[in-house]
Amino acid sequence: MFFFSLFKLVHIIAGFTALLVFWIPIVTKKGGKAHLRSGWVYVVAMGAVAVSALIMGIWRIGFDPDKTVESVAFAWFLIFISILSSATAWYGVRVLRFKNRKAAHRQIVDVMFPALLVGSGAAISIYGAVIHFPLLTWFPLVGIFLGASQLIYWLRAPKARMHWWFEHMGGMLGCCIATITAFTVFGAPRLLSISSVHPLVWFIPTIVLVPVIVGFSRYYRKKFAISKSA
């Protein structure tokens, strides 16, 4: 139990750190000091969240003597959140590293994460449907969509102007979905001293942030088109 409690503490601290700073890169000047520094704090925090979530999920499934069907289901959700957060954060960083590429990108370390996201999303969605667990049935569809779009981006030569900008933004905001959803499922009920929240609440971060991603993309596409024509 000490082992589990240690990683739970790491998970809580890193999770709250991510929640505190995730909005700063969104509202600050892109490429500025505040954007870069808060962005790296967020990435490191999400790395700690991903590793601790993976370890806690594996422990709960394989070694917890008091596990139940429900606790195992939530453990699989933890594992999926680990994959989703690490894949989207990694993607958000790596698209900047290769922003000048002109051809398809097939480095295994970059293709592996979105492929794992798609595969794990499909498997956990099926598992959720089998055990009639709405969170596991429907939420992984977000990961499947994000993973598929990442694979398409890497495996095709970029054509759009400033393509890396939009992919970086989408990757980081996708990571935000994982951060806030995990807090909604695990953190908020404990802070409010309630046993659970309505399943619809679990999907509010996705419902809110997906239109934000679309809105930001449209805004910057128009902005870059205007600056190009000026």
Q: In whole angstroms, how far apart are CA 32 and each of 27, 161, 193, 212?
A: 11, 21, 40, 21
Predicted confidence (pLDDT) at residue 199 exceeds the cutoff of 70:
no
How many CB atoms are closer than 10 A to CB 35?
16
Rg of the chain over all Cα atoms, to the nearest angstrom = 18
Residue 196 lies in domain: 2-229
Q: Which of 55-59, 85-89, 145-149, 187-191 has the lowest mean pLDDT?
A: 187-191
For the stretch 56-65, contacts whose Cβ atoms lie closer than 8 Å and that sit 24 or more positions apart, written own/partner, are 56/4, 56/7, 56/8, 56/11, 57/82, 59/3, 59/4, 59/7, 60/4, 64/4
Predicted confidence (pLDDT) at residue 206 exceeds the cutoff of 80:
no
**Residues 99-126 pLDDT 10s:** 999 999 999 999 999 999 999 999 999 9
């991903």: which residue's tokens?
A: 50
Arithmetic mean of pLDDT, 10-37: 88
The answer to whether 124 touches 82, Cβ cutoff 8 Å, is no
Predicted confidence (pLDDT) at residue 48 exceeds the cutoff of 70:
yes
Confidence of residue 230 (pLDDT cuts 50, 70, 90): very low
Q: Among the residues of 63-139, which ranges form H helices?
A: 69-97, 108-131, 134-138
What pLDDT score was predicted for residue 203? 75
Confidence of residue 182 (pLDDT cuts 50, 70, 90): confident
Maximal CA-CA distance, the chain: 66
**Residues 124-169 pLDDT 10s:** 999 999 999 888 998 899 899 999 999 999 999 998 888 998 899 8
Mean pLDDT for the chain? 86
Helix axes of 163-182 and 204-229: crossing angle, nearest 10 degrees: 160
What pLDDT score was predicted for residue 169? 86
The larger pLDDT score, comparing residue 56 to residue 198, is at 56
The answer to whether 109 touches 101, Cβ cutoff 8 Å, is no
What pLDDT score was predicted for residue 102? 92
DSSP string, 159-183: -STTHHHHHHHHHHHHHHHHHHHHI
Sign of CA dihedral 156, 212, 140, 72: positive
How many separate domains does the chain show?
1
């890169």: which residue's tokens?
A: 25
pLDDT cut 90: percent of the chain above it: 46
φ, ψ of residue 63 in degrees (nearest 5): -130, -5
Q: SS3 sequence, 178-212?
A: HHHHHHHHHHHHHHCCCCCCCHHHHCHHHHHHHHH
* Closest to 52 measured CA to CA, from 70, 75, 19, 69: 75
Arithmetic mean of pLDDT, 60-86: 90
The answer to whether 21 touches 38, Cβ cutoff 8 Å, is yes
Confidence of residue 211 (pLDDT cuts 50, 70, 90): confident
What pLDDT score was predicted for residue 228? 54
